[in-house]
Amino acid sequence: MLTLITVSIFASVALLTGAILYPVLSRRDAVRERVARLMPQQSAQPVLVPVRNKWQIFLADMGGKLRTKPADLHTYREMITSAGFRTESVYIFLGSKLLLALVLPATYLILFALPQGKMTSSNSILVAAAFGISGYLLPSLWLSRLAENRKTEIFHSLPDVLDLLTVCVEAGLSLDAALIKTAENFQHKNNPLIMEINTVTMEIRAGKARSEALKGLAERTMVEDIKAFVSMLVQTEKFGTSLGKTLRTYSDSLRMKRKQLAEERAAKTAVKMLFPLTFCVFPALLVVMLAPAFFKIYSMFGKH
């Protein structure tokens, strides 16, 4: 009882003190916020070389020790690039594959097999091997899924980006200025295509040739329409044709391609709905329609 009284008194005194000091402290915070708004803020500069943390360094060291064929390493680099990462992250990716291949079976053996005394049984070894294979393949599946989603988002946003780029070019801007304005005025700032265009403009400002920067855009996105778009820009710059008309024609063709793709997917829905209707909807309808008749016939024969 004495402890409860002491805690109640302490809580009451603390709440009363906080209520008295809150107006003074909040006023100081308001003054600090006003002064901070008046002070000029430094704009955040883009980081040219990202700093790796300890986990990334550890995974990169593990991935560097893993012997990989040059063809497989090239494939992994293409997957990583198309997923939005840099090619230097390939060893971090390999390290994550190796780490999961070791951690998952070890976790199963320590947490499940060891308490049951089945460390050396054939079932435990098979399950541990399955976990190891799954841990080695899961990063590849996740990365391929991420790359496909990114390619799809780039494909669907390309016509809108081309429309805005066409408006900027027809307004009298050069291609470099049009790329900058397109990246600044696009409605979705976190769009992967806009981020890649920002990278292209930074490379051009750093002194890289425009054709090389655009080719790097095609290599990083790994989208066929982007490759065709880059080839079109390079040829337009080389032969001196009208850039505005070329962009508008290519944008119309992309919209037609996207419309045809949507029509194709809509035509496939009838075939995809066949199995759910056959195995899920029709049996339920048959039960609802035939069950009353069955019970009625059963009752009629039951009377006789």
Please state whether 68 falls in left (phi above 0), alpha (psi between -120 and 50) or beta: beta
**What is the per-residue pLDDT across 138-184, written as a single tens digit (0 to 9) for each?**
999 999 999 999 998 998 888 888 888 888 888 888 888 888 988 88
Which 8-state DSSP code applies to residue 89? G
Contact, 99 vs 62, CB < 8 A?
A: yes
Residue 42 pLDDT greater than 50, yes or no:
no
| Pick from 5-14, 73-82, 210-219: least confident | 5-14
For the chain, the first-to-last Cα distance in angstroms comes to 81
Contact, 106 vs 124, CB < 8 A?
A: no
Length of the chain: 304
Angle at alpha carbon of residue 93, lines to 77 and 225, rounded to 5°: 35
Look-up: residue for tokens 């435990």? 124
pTM of the model: 0.68
**What is the per-residue pLDDT across 244-289, written as a single tens digit (0 to 9) for each?**
888 888 888 888 888 888 888 888 888 888 888 888 888 888 888 8
Look-up: residue for tokens 């004495």? 2
Q: What is the pLDDT of residue 26?
A: 57
| Pick from 2-11, 80-89, 135-144, 262-271: least confident | 2-11
